[in-house]
Every structure is written in structure tokens, then in C-alpha cells.
């Protein structure tokens, strides 16, 4: 197994995971406390069922990609929280209510409807606490619920802005890399012109002068002591011309990024990327490696645009005769907003043309096993060069190296079906 840097998790991802864990634990505790506090056997049973419904609504509200389903789940959590609080005042039925109040507004569009829902829930919560405590001070609980909802709305807006900034950063990074490469190519072109116009011409003129000098020396009957050095000088001049021409050709070609540069590309991506590699490393042509690099770069940029805030998996599998690679995002996170405008599809079309030009194939479409978009490509492999399986996390970590990867790209897997036209 190849040693690779340990996976790292972005701070906002740690916060999101911690918040989800705290919410789940709080819901379970509230149910565990509320059931014994309910009167009678039937009361305990009803509160237990309501608690299970509240937990289910919470999970739906957090994980549903559809805003309608999320709003329905969180509304169910709030309603069951009210019912639990009314049946078991000594319990913790307030927890589902507050949880729903916190997250429900973040899944609703801004406007009078959201404001009215927040006001109704906060008022109902304050009245319920006032009745339970038999004190008008309980109305302050409604104010606290409103403040909590408002705070989570602000937090959701900040997360959306951060995701948009990350998407913009990904596009800026891709643009900067293109500018750097263009500047390098321009400098190489200048050096090529200088070498061709000055050095190559000078060496060619020197070679002609030496040949003329040798002809004069031969006509004058100069001895071998002078003819030998003249011949060697002429040979060196001719060799110099050939070497300059070879150097000019190499400079015109320019360096190409390849498969070995993918890890650095994943590290530079501002979002969360998990990269896995399985199989014995092989060797691909420079053009094929460059096509793979560009395909991954375009796929990451598209993920930043259309699946802003989503984790991205880059799965690479070396086979004896081909390299297979899949880049997959998981769609917009719940409540997320795409940071980029819908493109014309020219990026993926150009990617496909580049891969096909090196004898490979490319497919794009929705991931068959869940939400998100997937890009799958194959390019031919020349020969294995050694190495093993590895995993590099530039974001959220995943399973161990050498596991069967998602998208059917394990060493014994097959590529899944594809559909839908390129974005």
C-alpha cells in the first residue's frame, strides 16, 4: 500500500457533523425522558410512538433533498413535540419543537409565508409553556424560539455564502492555472523563436562557412593536420543545428499535466474531495494522462458550480489494459443553492473529445445509485509500473484503501449505466 497524507476534514464539515450528532442525541434523550413522565401505560405508549415519529421527521428534515419533504418532516417534528409536551409536561417534548423551529425556516423560501409560520410556532410554543408553568413569563419561551429560528436563518445564509465563495474559488483556481500555463507557453514560444532565429541560423551559417573553408583548404593542398580539425568542427556545427531543432520541437510541445498531478489537484480544490486509487499503477501516454487531468479538473469545477457544498469522490482504478476513473458529486446539500449559472455543455463536450482523441471513452450523467452527477472515463494503459492501492482525502475521509469503490470502479467491478446529457 502506498503511503499518502491522512485525510482531513474542513472545519465547517466538522461543525455540521457535530451539530447533527448533538441533535440526534438530544432527540433520543428527550424521548427517553418523556416516556416515563407520561401518565399511565397508554400515555407512555403514545408518547413513545410520538417520539419515534419526531425522530423520523427530524431525519427526513435533515436528509431530504426536496424542500417540500424537508418542510413536511420538520413540521411533523414540531407537531409531535407539541403533543408530547401536552401529554407529558414533565418530559422534554420541548426539544423536538425547538429542533424543528431551528431548522424549518432554513428549508423554506424567504417571504411572508416563512415569517407567518415562525410567528405561529413561536406564539404557540410560548402559550404552551405559559399554560404548563401557569406563569405569563412562559411567553418568553416563544421569544426565545423566534430568536433561535432567526439565528439559524442567519447561519444558513452564511453557509450559502461560504459555499458560493468556495465555488468561485474553484473557478478562479482553474482560471489562474490556465493563465499560468498560457504565460508559460508564451514564454516557451518566445524562447523557441529566439533559438530558431538566432542560434539555429548562426550554427547553420557557421556550418556553411566551415564547409567553404574546407573546400578552400583542400584546393590549396593543406595537410591533414588542418583538414581533420576542420572536419570535426563542421560535424559539431551540423550536430548543433540538429540539437537546436530537437530542442525547439520539445519546447513547442510543452509539458503536460498527468495522472500523477491529480493528488495535487484534489488538494487545491477548496471543497471536500476524497480520492481513492486501486490496482497496480500502470503507464499512460502523456496525452492520455493530460486528458485525464483535464477531465477531473472540469468535473471538479462543475461540482463546485452545480453541487455547491457537496463532497466529491474521485475514484481511480488501474487495470492491465486500461485506466478507469469516476468523479462523482452528491448533488446540492439539503437547502443548498447552486453557485454557478447553467452552462452550455461545451466543457464536457471538449472533455469527451480530448479523451476520445487518445483512444478513450467518456460518459456523463446522474449517479445511478443516488443523488448527484457522475463522470466516468477510460483511457488505454501501456504497461504496469508497480505501486499499489492508496487513498487521499482532501476533504471528508472515507473507507480504507483497496476497498471496492463506489460507482463500480473496484478492481473487479464494472461501470454502471449512464444517462442524461452533459451539463
Residues 90 and 188 both lie in one domain: no
Using 50, 70 and 90 to split pLDDT, how confident is the model at 411? very low
Query: In this structure, are 360 and 402 located in the same domain?
Result: yes
pTM of the model: 0.55
Contact call for residues 328 and 312 (beta carbons, < 8 A): yes
Q: 277 in a domain, yes or no? A: yes
Tell whether 174 is covered by a domain.
no
| C-alpha angle 324-325-330 in degrees, rounded to nearest 5 | 145
Secondary structure element (H or E) that encloses residue 390, with its range: strand 390-393
Q: Given this model, what pLDDT does residue 316 score? A: 92
Q: Does some domain include residue 5?
A: no
Report pLDDT digits (tens) over 350-406: 778 888 888 888 888 888 877 888 899 999 987 655 555 555 554 433 333 333 344
SS3 track for 218-284: HHCCCCHHHHHHHHHHHHHHHHHHHHHHHHHHHHHHCCCCCHHHHHHHHHHCCCCEEEEEECCEEEC
Same domain, 242 and 264: no
CA distance 368 to 52: 31
Identify whether residues 99 and 230 lie together within a single domain: no
Average pLDDT on 281-307 reads 85
Q: Does 304 map to a domain?
A: yes
What proportion of the chain, given as a percentage, has pLDDT over 70? 70
Are 292 and 249 contained in the same domain?
Answer: no
Same domain, 202 and 263: no
Instruction: Tell me the C-alpha distance between 65 and 372, whole Å.
Output: 11
Of the pLDDT bands very low, low, confident and very high (cuts 50, 70, 90), residue 7 is very low
Which of 107, 135, 165 lies at the terminal end of a domain, its last residue?
A: 165
Indicate whether 26 belongs to any domain. Answer: yes
Is there a single domain that holds both residue 36 and residue 84? yes
Provide the grid cell at 51: 417520539
Contact of 260 with 277, CB cutoff 8 Å: no
CATH number, domain of 289, equals: 3.30.565.10
pLDDT score of 245 more than 50 = yes
Based on the fold, state whether residues 89 and 193 are members of the same structural domain.
no
Containing structural domain, residue 303: 259-408
Length of the chain: 423
Instruction: Assess if residue 8 is contained within a domain.
Output: no
Cα→Cα distances 114→24, 70, 71, 382, Å: 25, 14, 11, 60
Give the integer Cα–Cα distance in Å for 245 and 223: 34
Is the per-residue pLDDT at 246 higher than 80?
Answer: no
Cell representation of residue 362: 467518456
Q: Are residues 137 and 193 in the same domain?
A: no
pLDDT at 324: 92
Is 142 part of a structural domain of the chain? yes
Are both 264 and 249 inside the same structural domain? no
Q: How many structural domains are present in the chain?
A: 3
- Look at residue 255 in the predicted model and tell me its pLDDT: 60
**Domain closes at, from 253, 273, 300:** 253
Looking at 229, 253, 277, the residue that finishes a domain is 253
Residues 72 and 126 in one domain: yes
Task: Please state the φ and ψ torsions of residue 273, each to the nearest 5 degrees.
Answer: -125, 130
Same domain for 42 and 145, yes or no, is yes
Amino acid at each position: 500500500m502506498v503511503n499518502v497524507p491522512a485525510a482531513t476534514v474542513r472545519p465547517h464539515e466538522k461543525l455540521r457533523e457535530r451539530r447533527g450528532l448533538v441533535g440526534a442525541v438530544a432527540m433520543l434523550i428527550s424521548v427517553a425522558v418523556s416516556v416515563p413522565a407520561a401518565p399511565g401505560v397508554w400515555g407512555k405508549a403514545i408518547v413513545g410512538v410520538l417520539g419515534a415519529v419526531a425522530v423520523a421527521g427530524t431525519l427526513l428534515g435533515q436528509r431530504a433533498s426536496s424542500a417540500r419533504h424537508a418542510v413536511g418532516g420538520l413540521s411533523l417534528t414540531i407537531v409531535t413535540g407539541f403533543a408530547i409536551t401536552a401529554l407529558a409536561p414533565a418530559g422534554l417534548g420541548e426539544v423536538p419543537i425547538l429542533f424543528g423551529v431551528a431548522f424549518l425556516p432554513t428549508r423554506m423560501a424567504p417571504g411572508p409565508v416563512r415569517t407567518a409560520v415562525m410567528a405561529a410556532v413561536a406564539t404557540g410554543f410560548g402559550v404552551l409553556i405559559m399554560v404548563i408553568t401557569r406563569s405569563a413569563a412562559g411567553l418568553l419561551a416563544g421569544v426565545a424560539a423566534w430568536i433561535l429560528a432567526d439565528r439559524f436563518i442567519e447561519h444558513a445564509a452564511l453557509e450559502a455564502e461560504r459555499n458560493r465563495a468556495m465555488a468561485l474559488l474553484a473557478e478562479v483556481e482553474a482560471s489562474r492555472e490556465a493563465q499560468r500555463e498560457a504565460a508559460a507557453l508564451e514564454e516557451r514560444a518566445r524562447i523557441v523563436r529566439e533559438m530558431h532565429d538566432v542560434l539555429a541560423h548562426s550554427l547553420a551559417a557557421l556550418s556553411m562557412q566551415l564547409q567553404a573553408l574546407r573546400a578552400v583548404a583542400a584546393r590549396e593542398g593543406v595537410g591533414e593536420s588542418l583538414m581533420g580539425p576542420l572536419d570535426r568542427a563542421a560535424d559539431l556545427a551540423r550536430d548543433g543545428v540538429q540539437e537546436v531543432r530537437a530542442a525547439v520541437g520539445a519546447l513547442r510541445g510543452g509539458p503536460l499535466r498527468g495522472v500523477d498531478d491529480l493528488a495535487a489537484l484534489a488538494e487545491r480544490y477548496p471543497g471536500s474531495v476524497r480520492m481513492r486509487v486501486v490496482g497496480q499503477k500502470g503507464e499512460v501516454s502523456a496525452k492520455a494522462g493530460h486528458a485525464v487531468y483535464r477531465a477531473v479538473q472540469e468535473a471538479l469545477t462543475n461540482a463546485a458550480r452545480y453541487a455547491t457544498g457537496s463532497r466529491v469522490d474521485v475514484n481511480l482504478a488501474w487495470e492491465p489494459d486500461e485506466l478507469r476513473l469516476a468523479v462523482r458529486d452528491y448533488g446540492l446539500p439539503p437547502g443548498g443553492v447552486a453557485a454557478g449559472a447553467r452552462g452550455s455543455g461545451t466543457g464536457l463536450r471538449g472533455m469527451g473529445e480530448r479523451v476520445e482523441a487518445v483512444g478513450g471513452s467518456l460518459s456523463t450523467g446522474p449517479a445511478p445509485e443516488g443523488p448527484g452527477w457522475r463522470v466516468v472515463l477510460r483511457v488505454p494503459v501501456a504497461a504496469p509500473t508497480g505501486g499499489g492501492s492508496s487513498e487521499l482525502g482532501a476533504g471528508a475521509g472515507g473507507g480504507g484503501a483497496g476497498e471496492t469503490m463506489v460507482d463500480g470502479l473496484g478492481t473487479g467491478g464494472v461501470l454502471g449505466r449512464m444517462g442524461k446529457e452533459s451539463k
